Chains A and B, each alone.
Chain A
Amino acid sequence: AQSVTQPDIHITVSEGASLELRCNYSYGATPYLFWYVQSPGQGLQLLLKYFSGDTLVQGIKGFEAEFKRSQSSFNLRKPSVHWSDAAEYFCAVGDLTGGFKTIFGAGTRLFVKA
């Protein structure tokens, strides 16, 4: 069965430091991959998505992610974190079987310290 694993429940980084959030997926074919962000009290917002082509994907708010098929990974990165980036981040995979549903990971909560 398709699944998404985010190994880190929470991460703390200093403002201005770089960030990498890990995501591993299990899927039989080329996946559709997403990263969403959820600020407190809000719904999820799409940061970026990968369908095909260039494996390095640029998103909003200065985020990027790299698809590595050999590692079944889709890690999210940002070179310099801002305090406003503190939120919950969800990796997701699009399941093309059975009508295209999205499977979400459990999320990684990012704390940013001054």
Chain B
Amino acid sequence: EADIYQTPRYLVIGTGKKITLECSQTMGHDKMYWYQQDPGMELHLIHYSYGVNSTEKGDLSSESTVSRIRTEHFPLTLESARPSHTSQYLCASSPQWNGDEQFFGPGTRLTVL
């Protein structure tokens, strides 16, 4: 069974705050991803990682940053949140070898006031 966790599930914060969205997986997957999802829109890849100490920017420009110090952990940080960051953020992981089938966490719904 796929085990990938995201916390918090819901977050409401004020403009200018620094936040970190947590993502952890227990499957030992090398590849991890962060997507931004808005209603009625396709998922937009904002960051991904091939493994420890690897981070890449995705197709959608994002003011967030990520780190990959451990295989199982891929946190996303916003240094100064703005209302335009209001969205759902999905974390996913995949093993390197199976054609990029991805396992998703439940998501974090972020609202910036």
Residue count of chain A within 8 Å CB distance of chain B: 24
Contact B107 A102 (CB under 8 A): no
Assess the B104–A45 pair: CB atoms within 8 A.
yes
Do the beta carbons of A32 and B50 come within 8 Å of each other? no
A-B contact pairs, 14 of them (CB 8 A): A32-B99, A41-B107, A42-B106, A43-B90, A43-B104, A43-B106, A44-B90, A46-B103, A49-B101, A90-B42, A94-B100, A102-B45, A102-B100, A107-B42
Interface assignment of A83: CB less than 8 Å from any CB of chain B:
no
B43/A46 in contact, CB under 8 A: no
Cβ proximity bits A41-59 to B, threshold 8 Å, 1 near / 0 not: 1111110010100000000
Can you name the residue of chain A whose Cβ is closest to the Cβ of B105? A43
A9 within 8 A of B: yes
Q: Are A101 and B40 in contact (CB under 8 A)?
A: no
